[in-house]
Amino acid sequence: EADIYQTPRYLVIGTGKKITLECSQTMGHDKMYWYQQDPGMELHLIHYSYGVNSTEKGDLSSESTVSRIRTEHFPLTLESARPSHTSQYLCASSEFGQTTYEQYFGPGTRLTVT
Amino acid sequence: AQSVSQHNHHVILSEAASLELGCNYSYGGTVNLFWYVQYPGQHLQLLLKYFSGDPLVKGIKGFEAEFIKSKFSFNLRKPSVQWSDTAEYFCAVYGQNFVFGPGTRLSVLP
């Protein structure tokens, strides 16, 4: 079944640790996104990609980095986590073309940095 | 620059009441419009979308939305809400970029 997956679902780590949040989709979508969402708040776009080897920064400044080596995989990395990074991170994907731009969302990773 | 605003931060209704959530956007060109819903602890899911044609679109779970181009609006409606509609609702617009509104929290009292 075509879907979008995120791991881990929950993560609690100490300050200064390096972490990678995984996102994979099996829908063959070209475009992928990372959003940051605090509880009950709006979504902020932090990174997106049009396809393999394409990465762009979003509207919200972020200390994270992303890579897109394979179509289905779009991991997000924090080199040195800080308490200010505590948030929920949502991954999404969409087709990239003329007819549809609907985004499909993963379940999210809730990150707590202590 | 594109932007999306939602009229209410938090709406509280009793079951069977009618619902209308406002959404306005700013963008001068052609847009695609979406309403997403996020139930507590669950993924963001698409409720409905407008690309072209009939400006009144119907979505899942009895929701509908009307695109009024002259008002740059895409309001979400449901004639009779249920307790299970308690969720966060996000309006989103794709013009130049994909932009989400700040969300409206709906609480339906049993």
Q: Is B98–A94 a contact, with Cβ atoms under 8 angstroms apart?
A: yes
* Residue of chain A whose alpha carbon sits nearest to that of B47: A102
Q: Compute the distance between CA of residue A3 and CA of residue A11 in angstroms, rounded to an integer.
A: 22
Does residue A40 register a pLDDT over 80? Answer: no
Of the candidates B88, B94, B100, the beta carbon closest to that of A101 is on B94
Q: What is the average per-residue pLDDT within A62-82? A: 94
Does residue A100 register a pLDDT over 70? Answer: no
Q: Is B46–A43 a contact, with Cβ atoms under 8 angstroms apart?
A: no
Buried-exposed string A55-79: b where 16+ CB fall within 10 A, e elsewhere: beebeeebebebebeebbebbbebe
CA distance B101 to chain A (A): 7
Of the candidates A40, A41, A102, the beta carbon closest to that of B34 is on A102
Percent of chain A with pLDDT over 90: 75
Tokens representing B31 are 């847009």
What tens digit of pLDDT does each residue of B3-62 get? 899 988 999 999 999 999 999 999 888 899 999 999 988 889 999 999 889 999 999 999
Least confident interval from A104-108, B15-19, B62-66, B92-96: B92-96
Average pLDDT score, chain A: 91
Q: Is A107–B100 a contact, with Cβ atoms under 8 angstroms apart?
A: no
